[in-house]
Structure 1
Amino acid sequence: MTSPCDPANAPVGDVGAALMVVDSRLKAIYDGGSKTDPEQQQMIDQFAASMDRAGFDALLDGACTLIYMYMSWLRAACEDHDEEVIEYVVPSLVETMRMMPKTFKPEVIPTMTGLVIAAGTGLSPNLWRAQYGGWTSAEMNPLEATVVLLAEKINRMAGDDHDFATRLITGALSGADAD
């Protein structure tokens, strides 16, 4: 029996735009600050200003697709080492979220954790979230930060290769385009 949260039923969204935002945040982190490169920030701001509701929804779906793709990669990596992906990812993710109270208010931690667990168990994060109603404005920064934290975890696992998570997605997108 298929789940209503089966990824095959989920919109992919604008993965490219979501990846651009994540990559920009990662570069800011790796450059030693919390500020994004002004040129990149201007590009993101222009992109955001040009978005209508459908574009914004596509960006949210794209962020959830990234969560799903990153958790799929992490699941495969954990299986190669006889580890459970939920056990490996969730405790450290929650611990990190608790250390970032301005980004992750206590009430959004269960939702962000739920997205990661849904993806880690093969469910669509955006369809899982949709069953509880629409996104709230309080969830926007935590959603972005969750994707960034997953990408950063992957980069660390890849030997501190700061672009590995981005290349992982661009490679998958290139492969999908070829099909």
Structure 2
Amino acid sequence: MSSPCDPKYAPVGDVGAALMMIDSRLQAIYDDRTETDREQQEMVGQFAASLGPAGVDALLDGVCTLIYMYMRWLRSACEDHDEDVIEYVVPTFVGTMAMMPKTFRPEVIPTMAGLVIAAGNGLSPNLWRAQYGRWTDAEMNPLEATAVLLAERINRITDDRNFATRLITEALTKSDHD
């Protein structure tokens, strides 16, 4: 049975720009550059403003594509160990979000958890979210942080700080060759 949230109906978006943004965040975390967080946020804001409305939509779709791809990798890793990806990822993910009230206001936690659950169930996170209207300004930082948390989780599992970025880069390279 086909779903209107099937990934085959979803726009991929600007995955390259989204990956650059997420990787930049990961490197800042790993390098413990908390003092430059405001500067980086300003740069991301300037970058997003330079994209225009269509570019911002493509960036949002790109971030959702990353969330989908990260959850797909996590689902595969969990299945290899006879674990359920939702049970493995969501409780700690929601707990982490709750401990970050400046990034995840309580009212956006259900939406971000829903994106992860949708992706974990093989649905497109951006199409799932689209059912509820346009993205809000309050969801922008949490959306980025959701992708960062998933990427960091993958990096921790693989004990490789660049694995999540390489995973996407290799997938993009492969799709260019196909």
Instruction: Report the residue type matching 2:141 in the other structure.
Output: N
**Contact (CA 8 Å) 1:116, 1:125: kept in 2 or not?**
yes
Instruction: Report the residue type matching 1:165 in the other structure.
Output: A
Specify whether residues 39 and 172 from structure 1 end up closer, same or farther in structure 2 by C-alpha distance, changes over 3 A only: farther
Residue 51 of structure 2 corresponds to: 51
Q: Shift in Å at residue 173 of structure 1?
A: 0.2
Partners of 1:39 and 1:129 in 2: CA distance? 29
Write the mapping of 1:31-110 to structure 2, written as runs, cut at 5 A. 31-36=31-36, 44=44, 47-110=47-110
**Contact (CA 8 Å) 1:24, 1:36: kept in 2 or not?**
no
Write the mapping of 1:73-152 to structure 2, written as runs, cut at 5 A. 73-152=73-152
Residue 155 of structure 1 corresponds to: 155
Partners of 2:42 and 2:137 in 1: CA distance? 22
Instruction: Report the residue type matching 1:136 in the other structure.
Output: T
Moved over 2 A (4+): 33-49
Aligned pair count reads 178
Q: Shift in Å at residue 147 of structure 1?
A: 0.3
Partners of 1:100 and 1:42 in 2: CA distance? 20
Structure 1 alignment gaps of length 5 or more = none
Report sequence identity in percent: 76
Partners of 2:168 and 2:133 in 1: CA distance? 28
Q: Shift in Å at residue 36 of structure 1?
A: 4.9
Instruction: Report the residue type matching 1:140 in the other structure.
Output: M
Partners of 1:36 and 1:12 in 2: CA distance? 30
Instruction: Report the residue type matching 1:89 in the other structure.
Output: V
Deviations 1:91-140 (A, max 9, x none): 01000000000110111000000000000000000000000111000000
Structure 2 alignment gaps of length 5 or more = none
Report the secondary structure of 1:129's partner residue.
Answer: helix
Residue 166 of structure 2 corresponds to: 167
Q: Shift in Å at residue 50 of structure 1?
A: 1.8
Report the secondary structure of 2:95's partner residue.
Answer: helix
Specify whether residues 141 and 39 from structure 1 end up closer, same or farther in structure 2 by C-alpha distance, changes over 3 A only: closer
Specify whether residues 41 and 145 from structure 1 end up closer, same or farther in structure 2 by C-alpha distance, changes over 3 A only: closer
Instruction: Report the residue type matching 1:122 in the other structure.
Output: G
Specify whether residues 24 and 177 from structure 1 end up closer, same or farther in structure 2 by C-alpha distance, changes over 3 A only: same
Residue 13 of structure 1 corresponds to: 13
Instruction: Report the residue type matching 1:75 in the other structure.
Output: R
Residue 23 of structure 2 corresponds to: 23
Instruction: Report the residue type matching 1:178 in the other structure.
Output: H
Instruction: Report the residue type matching 1:48 in the other structure.
Output: A
Q: What TM-score comes out, normalization by structure 2 length?
A: 0.94
Structure having the higher helix fraction is: 2
**Contact (CA 8 Å) 1:14, 1:61: kept in 2 or not?**
yes
Q: Shift in Å at residue 48 of structure 1?
A: 2.5
RMSD: 1.8
